[in-house]
Amino acid sequence: MNLPYSEPFKIKMVENIYRSTKDQREKWIREASFNLFNLRSEQVYIDLLTDSGTGAMSDKQWASIMTGDESYAGASSYYHLKEAIRELTGFDYFLPTHQGRAAENVLFSVLVKAGDIVPGNSHFDTTKGHIEFRNASAVDCTVDRASDTTSHDPFKGNIDTGKLEKVLKENPADKISCIILTITNNTVGGQPVSMANIKEVSKLSKKYGVRLIIDSARFAENAYFIKTREEGYADKDIRDITREIFSYADGMTMSSKKDAIVNTGGFIGFRDEELFRQASTYNIIFEGFITYGGMSGRDMNALAQGLYEGTEFPYLESRIKQVAYLGQKMKEYGIPVLEPFGGHAIFIDAKRFVPDFPKEEFPAQTLALEFYIEGGIRGAEIGALMADRDPFTRANRYPALEMVRLALPRRVYSNNHMDYVAAVVRNVFEKRNEIRKGFKIVWEAPIMRHFTLKLDRV
């Protein structure tokens, strides 16, 4: 008989976590203005707010921290990182930044002008934020089936090339900053993009003379899905797949806090020396000199090591199968979850969980708060609060998907934790008919409001 997968690592250090009472949590969440971002981490038992920067580094990563080179210019750590990036992506030029959104800030300072259009597949919120902040528009060309949480398509993160070509055809090339392809597609459920789709998008980008930039936060998880789901890739090494993915692009932005399993860091990869030169000036202004950007030498060392570990198949298999383990448990309880299960998170479909709930009272946020009060789990709303207001009309945007995301930190929680999480959600699901009232906004920032807004019960 085949043996099951299991983690290709063991635990060397533990961090205690505190299991609070419901009464404590009711008080704390009220004090936090019903915004899960406002909680102190000690008030959370199992923290599934994000998989970003929350992973556990390995002994080799911690060891590499001790040998970091902190020279201002030309540090050996920079060259270690450059070598790792070249090996995994094929990009000869790169700039380090302090995290993913900083990479967006630097690159978009060159590429995005007021009045521009940036087509892509469900731009992440900071990506959209950086585009809209420059008075440009992000045009979402994701395939329609992505908004059906029950359709079993292996590559629901794809770009609809018909929609993309329409945008490229109807607008002059100098008004289109670039195409942004996000792998995996976080916003629609951590869904992968197929190699075939990447190739087609690349072909269109060349046909219309518009650069293709890959938002690569979860590029290794995307490569795992290509290997396990797309014809012709089963026998390929993950790194051969990542190199092929990037061979179709002109550049990449990276939040290293995800698939590179470090607590902070980011970078931009470039094929073209001229674009690298232009971006270097902004990197120096916003981030730091071009051989450290926003990172210390030790952080660059840990990142180089993390890039290699994050692209090992046994690690990726245990990671993605743990996410599926949680999804499967919830499914067995009848909880409506997005399928296929994503690479980094399980997404609970609030529209199916509480079908008659008014959208103006933020159903996904209401559920996320219920999960916290019930069992101390912190998830994230991916719905109307996060979708923010339209930058021009200022009307609330109600996206097709209204979900609670439970994102799993890498190499952090056990499957016993997953059993606990599923049981908490089951308890809330069993009393779903009692959940009738939601929340109203009492304060919000003009952009990216979900991080800091204050809510109250309706």
What is the binding site for ligand F0G (CB under 6 A)? 50, 52, 99-101, 124, 126-127, 182, 186, 215, 217, 255, 257, 266
Residue 94 bears catalytic tag: no
How near is the Cβ of 407 to ligand F0G at its closest, in Å? 6
Please identify, using beta-carbon distances, which residue of 104 and 230 lies nearer to ligand F0G. Answer: 104
**Distance of closest approach, residue 125 Cβ to ligand F0G, in angstroms:** 8
**116 or 221: CB nearest ligand F0G:** 221
Residue 258: active-site member? yes
**Least spacing, CB of residue 261 vs ligand F0G, in Å:** 13
Please identify which of the residues 215, 259, 299, 349 carries the catalytic annotation.
215
- Helices 219-229, 313-332: crossing angle, 10 deg rounding: 80
Q: Active-site residue among 5, 18, 72, 451? A: 72
In whole angstroms, the minimum distance from the beta carbon of 53 to ligand F0G comes to 7
Nearest residue to ligand F0G, scored by beta-carbon proximity: 100
Question: 147 in the Ramachandran plot: left (φ > 0), alpha (ψ -120 to 50) or beta?
Answer: alpha
Catalytic-role residue among 98, 130, 156, 258: 258
Which CB sits closer to ligand F0G, 126 or 291?
126
Nearer to ligand F0G, 132 or 215 (CB): 215
Of the two residues 257 and 298, which places its CB atom closer to ligand F0G in the complex?
257
- Residue 215 is a catalytic residue: yes
Instruction: Give me the least distance between CB of 404 and ligand F0G, in Å please.
Output: 13
Contact predicate 168/199, CB 8 Å: no
CB of 286 to ligand F0G, least distance (A): 13
Look up 417 and say whether it is catalytic.
Answer: no
Q: Which of 47, 51, 116, 125 is catalytic?
A: 125
Nearer to ligand F0G, 257 or 271 (CB): 257
User: Catalytic annotation on 450?
Assistant: yes
Annotated catalytic residues are 72, 124-125, 215, 217, 258, 450
